Structure 1
Amino acid sequence: MLVRAIMTPERHLTTLQPSQSLEEALEKINQLGYLSLPVVKNDRFIGYISSLYIYEKYIESGEETMSEFLRSNRIEDFVDTSVKPVVDSMYVEEAAKAFFESNMRFIPIVNHAGVFQGILTQKALFELITKVYGLEDDKIVIYAQEFVGMLKRITDVLERMDVNITNIAKYDTETLGVQEISLRITGADIHDVVRRLEEKGIKVREVVPAKKAQ
């Protein structure tokens, strides 16, 4: 999946111009309840400005009143340009890596011409991961010495029960070659699934029922 599919488009965002005052920036940030906002000029992403950075710079300035500091300074002199945009044709997996490297709450998205398209937020990325990997579905964990053979035995049972597998993950326990097989499933009562598996000699080590919607 490409980042453009889950980004928040520019038309749904509040952005700031470099020529605006810090007073306007702080007012807008506080009004919306955000920590920072993108700064855009001529359809190009310039950077972002945060309320924390504004407060820090006010303290460093030595100005007697904050109101005067905010009115007399422009965003362009305080914008953080360290976060680099990614193209909208980037895969979501690559964008996830960019999040770890930037430690930002959002990543700016541009097209191949460099025109600002929107932002990808951590929330949007995590919601996608939750959906794709079935993190809200029932979970069972089984240990096995031999992954392929055990997986076939498990899927044979689940197929007969019309159970849907939403995710399968394998982890090396680093103990005597034992593999941990974690499955997310839907379509049947998890306790019935566990009972049927154990009737076939498959020991279920962990059971995590799906979280009920609030």
Structure 2
Amino acid sequence: MLVKNIMLPKEKLITVSPKSTIGHALEVMNENKFLSIPVAEGEKFYGTISKDRIYEFYYEKCEDKQCFLSDFNVEVVMREDIPTILPMEQMEKAVHFLEIMNISFVAVIDNKGAFEGILTHHAVFEQFTSLFGLNKGQRLAVMAYDIPGQISKLSKILSENNADIISFVVVDPKSVIDVMEIVVRMRTDNFELIEEKVKEAGFKIV
């Protein structure tokens, strides 16, 4: 799935500029119940400011709270190493960044360097929920040997027994043997019959 299809466009974001005061940034985060927000101005993306980074900086550098809130700007505290991704790139690249870098979002920048929006953990989780078809239809999970033809074989059983497939996901269980888990969500009035046919075909239902 392309990043542009699930990102939050900048028009829907609440941001602060690098020259905003720390006090203003905290006020914005508190009003909107955010833990962090993008730092951007116009088409330029600078980084992110977060509550934990503000608190850490305050306890390390300052004694006067009011002075800190009013005299220090966001650019002094913001995190700048936020990875960027193009709108037409695949979501998987952004997921990799989210996983390894302990960040709230990945910034989406077009090929001219203009800020387009962000891709968040929440957006990714929503897509995985949709992909697995959670809370829709009936769930069938089987273990199969990781050999050619298994997916086609299972799909044929489902179609021959009038199953309306909602989602079809193959998962690597990281087993010591070459097996895969196939999770299917379907609408059917023949679920028990399908289970029997699947077992007869050599699949193990889990």
1:117 alignment partner, SS class? strand
Q: Name the residue aligned to 1:89.
A: 88
Quick check: 55-64 or 152-161, which moved more? 152-161
Q: Which runs of 5+ in 1 are unaligned?
A: 207-214
Shift of 1:28: 0.6
Q: Which ranges of structure 2 fall in alignment gaps of 5 or more residues?
A: none
Corresponding residue of 2:176: 174
* Mapped contact 2:146–2:180 kept (Cα < 8 A): no
The answer to whether the 8 A contact 2:132-2:185 is kept is no
Partner of 2:109: 110
State the distance in 2 between where 1:88 and 1:50 align: 24
- Residue in 2 that maps onto 1:33: 33
Q: Does 1:46 align with 2:46?
A: yes
**Deviation for aligned residue 1:144:** 4.4
- Write the letter of the residue equivalent to 1:169: V
1:17 matched to 2:25? The reply is no
2: CA distance between counterparts of 1:151 and 1:168? 10
User: CA RMSD, aligned part only?
Assistant: 2.4
- After alignment, is 69-78 or 147-156 more displaced? 147-156
Q: C-alpha distance in 2, partners of 1:167/1:184?
A: 5
CA contact (8 A) 1:87 1:111 kept: yes
Question: Quick one: distance in 1 between partners of 2:15 and 2:133?
Answer: 34
Q: Residue type matched to 1:68 in 2?
A: C
Q: 2:63 is matched with which residue?
A: 63
Asked if the contact 1:168/1:184 (under 8 Å) is kept, the reply is yes
Superposition TM-score, scaled by structure 2 size: 0.84
